[in-house]
């Protein structure tokens, strides 16, 4: 599988404190490492609570229990469960975006950069099933404010693909429609979300060759795209 060529998931010390505190995934920081910052604990707490109960089933009491803070402390930081979720969502997405950007920028050629970026996204989500669920599935449940952020976050991946237009021959540029990149991102995210919902988060990295071929084909043609997708 092409995924084996990807760099291993970053160790826990590279996580921002909110995420490093989270128990799911492979980093497994002991409780002693728990950041003392209450806000961070609450953000981590909501992610744990949601992993257990889903967004709708999560109460403030669940969050404060996981965060080991009082209800009063919760309300000193957040006005509502929704507000706490927004903070958690933003933290996870920032981390995901940074990983994608880092992997993308490490490659010189655009097709390989796309492959690295998608690989980094799949690796992060596969290693952090609870965070994957939070940002790709539960975000949609959490009401209009988060849905708006979700939309903006997904659209923020469009420019990576749009870069593929640079230096393409005129006949290729001419047939690329203005919505090509949006459709590619939407198709990719939709597939990932459905796999997470189906409980196949751990296998997300096996999607890498398919997603690379799908996203590169409009720019490179299917033969060339397949070659990049299968390259190790």
Partner 1 sequence: MRPSPGRHPLSREFIARHQRARIISALAEETVEKGYRAVTVADIVRRAGIARNTFYENFSSKEDCFLAAAEFGVNETLRQIVEASGKVDGWPARVNAGLAAFLRYVASDPALARLCVVEALSAGPASVERYEESVQSFLPLFRMGRKLCPHGEDLPGTLEETIIGGIFWIVYQRIIMGQAEQIEELRPELVEFSLAPYLGAEAAKRVAAEAPPLAS
Q: Which residues bind partner 1 (CB under 8 A)?
A: 56, 137, 140-144, 147, 151, 154-155, 172, 175, 177-180, 182-191, 193-194, 197-198, 207, 209-211, 213-214, 217-218, 221-222, 226, 229
**Complex with partner 1: residue 7 or 187, whichever CB lies closer:** 187
Radius of gyration of the chain (CA): 19
| Residue 59 beta carbon to partner 1: minimum distance, rounded to whole angstroms | 14
Give phi and psi for 175, each to the nearest 5.
Answer: -95, -5
User: In Å, how far from its chain's centre is CA 192?
Assistant: 10
CB of 140 to partner 1, least distance (A): 4
Give the residue from 129, 49, 34, 46 showing the smallest Cα distance to 86: 46
Q: 68: how many CB neighbours lie within 10 A of its CB?
A: 13
Residue 126 C-beta: closest distance to partner 1, Å = 16
Q: Which is nearer to partner 1, 38 or 217 (CB)?
A: 217
Tokens of 205: 């990295």
Q: How far is CA 11 from the centre of its chain?
A: 17
Q: To 10 degrees, the CA torsion angle through 172, 176, 181, 184?
A: -90
Q: Please, what is the minimum distance in Å from the beta carbon of residue 210 to partner 1?
A: 4
Complex with partner 1: residue 3 or 226, whichever CB lies closer: 226
Q: Which is nearer to partner 1, 71 or 194 (CB)?
A: 194
Residue (26 or 227) nearer to partner 1, CB = 227
Structure token pair of residue 232: 């190790």
Instruction: Report the residue number, 25 or 218, with the smaller CB distance to partner 1.
Output: 218
Contact 218, 180 (CB under 8 A): yes
Give the nearest distance from C-beta 171 to partner 1 in angstroms. Answer: 9
Closest C-alpha to 96, from 114, 120, 113: 120
Eight-class DSSP state of 87? H
Provide, rounded to whole angstroms, the least separation between the CB of residue 144 and partner 1. 5
């Amino acid at each position: 599988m092409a995924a084996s060529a990807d760099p291993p998931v970053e160790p826990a010390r590279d996580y921002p404190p909110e995420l490093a505190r989270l128990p799911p995934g492979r980093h497994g920081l002991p409780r002693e490492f728990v950041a003392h910052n209450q806000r961070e604990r609450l953000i981590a707490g909501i992610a744990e609570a949601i992993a257990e109960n889903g967004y709708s089933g999560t109460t403030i009491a669940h969050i404060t229990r996981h965060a080991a803070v009082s209800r009063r402390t919760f309300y000193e930081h957040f006005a509502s469960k929704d507000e706490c979720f927004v903070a958690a969502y933003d933290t996870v997405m920032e981390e995901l975006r940074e990983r994608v950007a880092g992997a993308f920028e490490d490659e010189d050629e655009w097709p390989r950069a796309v492959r690295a970026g998608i690989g980094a996204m799949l690796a992060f989500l596969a290693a952090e099933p609870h965070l994957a669920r939070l940002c790709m599935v539960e975000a949609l449940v959490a009401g209009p404010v988060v849905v708006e952020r979700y939309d903006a976050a997904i659209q923020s991946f469009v420019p990576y693909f749009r870069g593929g237009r640079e230096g393409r021959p005129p006949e290729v540029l001419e047939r690329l429609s203005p919505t090509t990149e949006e459709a590619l991102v939407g198709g990719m995210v939709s597939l990932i979300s459905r796999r997470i919902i189906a409980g196949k988060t751990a296998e997300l990295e096996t999607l890498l060759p398919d997603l690379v071929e799908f996203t590169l084909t409009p720019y490179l043609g299917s033969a060339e795209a397949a070659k990049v997708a299968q390259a190790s």
